[in-house]
Amino acid sequence: MSKASDFPPPFDAAEFVAEPTDPADERIEVGVLIVGAGPAGLACAIRLGQLLEENPDVAERLGEVPVALLEKGKQPGSHLLSGAVVNPRALQRLFGSRLRLQDLPSYGEVPGEAVYVLTKRAALRIPPPPPMRNHGNWIFSLSQLGRFLAEQAEEGGTMILPETAAQKLLVSHGRVVGVRTGDKGRGRDGQELGNFEAGSDLVAKVTVLAEGTQGHLTGVALDRFDLRGDEPQVWELGVKEVWKVAKPLEHIVHTMGWPLRLGAKYREFGGSFIYPMGDDMVTIGLVVGLDYRDSELSVHDLLQELKTHPKIAEILEGGERVQWGAKTIPSGGFHSLPRKLHAPGLLLCGDGAGMVNIPRLKGVHYAIESGRLAAEAAFRALQRGETPATALSSYDDAVRESFIWDDLREVRNMRQVFGRGFFVGGALASAMTVSKGRIELGKLRAEPDAEQPLLTTGRAASYPAPDGKLTFDKLSSVFASGNKTRDDQPSHIRIERQVPADVARMWASLCPAQVYEVGADDGDGTVTVEVAPSNCVQCGAITAKGGRLTPPEGGSGPEYTVT
């Protein structure tokens, strides 16, 4: 049985750490630099806008651009994807009396919920296990919310720079002083094309990394500043679709069980969510822990299989798919958090730092709260008489005193039962009931996802052949993500190209965007892995399972609008 971790990618974090190299007068100087226009980064920008408005003296000293926010997608929202059922408390704390929840672009409060355990043909309804109760939470499209928050941030004075990738962390004298943005206009072999534009050094007094799951510079910073926590981080992969539907869905739905297999050796843990988005749209997604072992497991195809279940097909009957997307979710929880969330000149927020409550499948409100707290710490660091080091470490203190820490610490004890997804606790509990106790609790996962030994079970035979109406192939799904990545650019994916067939097959099945294909046999027990990087929707799964995603040219990737 091969392990992907035996074939590590050609990647060295040190390649992405550098001193500023642009001549001093060409460097772009800003006050606070935020990387990532997701809920964490935007909350940070919005809060900074509020603080700078209240303190014009500080604002003045920050120069022409007090707050800059880099986004690698075409625009804020293009790379945002979640369920999402959001706990509103962080939004309320962020906006205070300035905005009410009703002013935000949401699909309203959760109208009710149902949880099912599925078998191939039946659906057994069970009462929602405690962590899964969503009363009082609101349904959002994270992509839409991102666009809205971006407008708020800009109105507050933040300069948002879309289509801009943060390629390298600028470190000088042991301190983070900013980032270097990625080049544009390079060809497939790295050559400079006619319209080549080199990246720039963007220097700032404080840099906030809010890059989301598998954040590129976050990963680099965790290594460079030795910030990793006790346990390695692990991930789940979510693949979802948004559908126009003929009849409204009355409540939010979560399912577990089929098409995932219960046997402990498979380690297939996860479940699905189906949320109404108003009366005429629905979002359906499947989330699976990446510590699975079957080399043919494809979350995308399992989602297609799930839709053929009579209970689910009924919801989508007469409807039309309008969007598709995929993204990983950090699921290590409390024990996988970095041991510190700051370093000289640097703050870490949100999913990038692993702030996700898997038993409740919630992370958006932690991202927002951490962004808000980061803004306050950054602001403190900018004030006269403050030692930046003390100010930034106050961020760690603030996060530890917040509900982020309380919640994540609380559910760390549920790891035994709920450890691999909020579905698992209920799944195991219900599966135990349904199977009369034949299910055993798997070992606690402590290994990185890429270290799972691979099995082959012929699972792919059960995936439905795409019919183009209810079920879809990967390529047309990539099209439905709005992805139009420019092909003639260097590959942004670091991966070992000569690997055993089962590792190659695992990668090919893993990737929802069909970036990897099993190529020719090299005759020595390995095959060549073919890579089509322009399909990539930057979900991050490959990094969890033995490769390494880095940011492509700014503006590449999906163009999500309602995910």
Partner 1 sequence: MKIAVCVKHVPEGTSRIDPGTKRLDRAGEGALNHFDANAVEAALQIKGDSDTEVVAVSLGPQKALDSLRKALAMGADRAVLVSDDAAAGSDLVATSRLLAAALAKEEPDLVLFGQQASDADGAVLWAAVAERLGRPVVSQAMELSVDGGSVHVKRQTEHGYDTLEAPLPAVVAVSDAINEPRYPSLKGIMGAKKKPQDVLSLGELGVDPAEAGDAGSRTTVLALGDPPARADAKKIEDDGNAAQAIVDFLAEKRLI
Partner 2 sequence: MATLVFLEHHGDELQKGALGVLTKAVELGGADAVIVGEGAKGLAGQAGKYGAGKVWACEDAEVAQPLPQPRVDVLAKAVADGGYDTVLFANSVLAADVASGLAARLDAGLNWDLADVELQGGDLVGKRPALQDSVYVDVGWTSTPRLALFRAGSFDAKESGGGEPEVVDVSPDYAAHSTAVKLLGQDAAETGGVNIEDADVIVAGGRGLGAPENFTLAEELAKALGGAVGATRAVVDAGWYPYSAQIGQTGKTVSPKLYFALGISGAIQHKVGMQSSGTIVAINKDANAPIFEFSDLGVVGDVHEIVPKLTELIAQRRGS
Map residues 463-502 to x or -, x wherever contact with partner 1 holds by CB under 8 A.
-----------------x-x--------------------
DSSP 337: S
184 binds, among partner 2, partner 1, none (CB under 5 to 8 A by kind): partner 1
| Amino acid making up residue 121 | R
Task: Name the residue type at position 248.
Answer: P
Residues 183-202 that bind partner 2 (CB under 8 A): 188
**Residue 534 binding target from partner 2, partner 1, none, CB below 5 to 8 Å by type:** partner 2
Identified binder of partner 1 from the candidate list 28, 126, 417, 470, rule CB under 8 A: 28
Element (H, E) at 59: helix 56-61
Residue 165's Cα: distance from chain center in Å?
Answer: 16
The Cα–Cα gap between 35 and 1 comes to 40
Return the residue of 62, 478, 503, 504 that touches partner 2, per CB under 8 A. 478
Q: Which is nearer to partner 1, 185 or 466 (CB)?
A: 185
Backbone φ and ψ for 375, nearest 5 degrees, come out as -60, -45
Shortest spacing between CB 504 and partner 2, in angstroms:
16
CB of 165 to partner 2, least distance (A): 18
Instruction: Kindly tell me which of 2 and 181 has the beta carbon lying closer to partner 1.
Output: 181
Residue the block writes with tokens 């355990």:
117
Q: Does 167 interact with partner 1 (rule: CB under 8 A)? A: no
How many residues touch partner 1 (CB under 8 A)? 22
Asked if 485 is part of the footprint of partner 2 (rule: CB under 8 A), the reply reads yes
- Residue closer to partner 2 (CB basis): 137 or 304: 304
Closest separation in Å from C-beta 549 to partner 2:
18
Three-state secondary structure of 122-162? CEEEECCCHHHCCCCCEEECHHHHHHHHHHHHHHCCCEEEC
State yes or no: residue 559 binds partner 1 (CB under 8 A).
yes
Name the residue nearer to partner 2 (CB basis): 196 or 479: 479
Retrieve residue 336's tokens: 């996988």
Angle at the Cα of 439 from the Cα atoms of 435 and 441, rounded to 5 degrees? 150
Q: Can you read off the two tokens belonging to residue 193?
A: 């094309």
Q: Give me the least distance between CB of 535 and partner 2, in Å please.
A: 9
CB-nearer residue toward partner 1: 164 or 213 = 164
Dist. CA 115–CA 85, nearest whole Å: 15
**439 to each of 113, 263, 264, 429, 456, how far by Cα in Å?**
26, 7, 8, 9, 21
**Burial class of residue 98 in the structure, from the number of CB atoms within 10 Å of its CB (0-12 exposed, 13-18 middle, 19+ buried):** exposed
Strand pairing partners for 252?
113
User: CA 47 → CA 57, 239, 442, distances in Å?
Assistant: 17, 32, 43
> 509-548 mask for partner 2 (x: CB under 8 A)?
---------------------x-x-x--------------
Nearer to partner 1, 321 or 445 (CB): 321
* C-beta separation of 363 from 356 below 8 A: yes
Residues that bind partner 1 in the complex, under the rule CB under 8 A: 28, 65, 68, 74-75, 147, 159, 161, 164, 181, 184-185, 193-195, 197, 200, 202, 480, 482, 559, 561
Residues that bind partner 2 in the complex, under the rule CB under 8 A: 188, 475-476, 478-479, 484-488, 530, 532, 534
